[in-house]
Amino acid sequence: MKQYPISRDGWIYLAILAVLAVLAYWVWPWLVILPGIVFLFVAFFFRNPERDIPTDELTLVSPADGVIMDVERVFEDQFLNGESIRVRIFLSVFNVHVNRSPLVGKVVFRAYRPGQMIPAFKSHASELNEKNYVGIQNKQLQVLVTQVTGFIARRIVCWVNIGDIVAKGERFGLIKFGSCTEIFVPTNVAIMVSPGDRVRGGVSVIGRVSVD
């Protein structure tokens, strides 16, 4: 999928705001300020920067920009079907909201669950909010990435399907207007981040696979 500096999913909002700005200017020139400010914010929110992706095959990169909320051992029953390590990342409205694959591999699982609109930074938001699951595997391991919406809007975008091959750091979707992204990994992955750390999607190393 061809990528642009501003994600195509934001173009419709920018077009609407541009029309509103023109109409506002016709009514009273000073009115253009409000839609103009919103236009700039939406363009900022849907920014889609290029990233230099680490090449080490044994490392997993962050699937999102944001702040690490927690790192916990959990039982994951959607894809990994066993004990795993969950790393949760909170994305504010000021973060890049494009999601990226943490490793090179094949998409072998996808599922979607509708849900509520609890703020994404709440500990129980993952269990109740709208959520999309993407399972990726390669010869070394399987990981599950989930996209969880927040309270401002419920809109998950996912560009990959079962059978697609994704590169490490490749963009696979986005979440609109405040959200949480989770990555579930096997217990043989050494986690290299801690709660409170700031990470960048496709760049920051989340963990390293043990080959012992």
Which CATH number do you get for residue 138? Answer: 2.70.70
Q: Which residues lie across from 199 on neighbouring strands?
A: 66
Q: What is the pLDDT of residues 121-161, one digit of tens each?
A: 566 656 767 899 999 999 989 999 999 987 665 588 999 99
Distance CA 192, CA 56 (A): 14
Q: What is the domain range of residue 67?
A: 59-209
* pLDDT for the residue 3: 86
Same domain, 77 and 166: yes
Same domain, 37 and 137: no
Can you give the pTM of this predicted structure? 0.90
| 3 neighbors 11 (Cβ within 8 angstroms) | no
Point out the catalytic residue in the list 126, 179, 194, 204. Answer: 179
In a domain, 180, yes or no: yes
Same domain, 36 and 89: no
Q: How many domains is the chain built from? A: 2
pLDDT band of 20, cuts 50, 70, 90: very high
Highest mean pLDDT pick, 21-25, 75-79, 123-127, 168-172: 168-172
- Looking at the predicted structure, is the pLDDT value of residue 41 above 80? yes
In a domain, 100, yes or no: yes
92 is catalytic: no
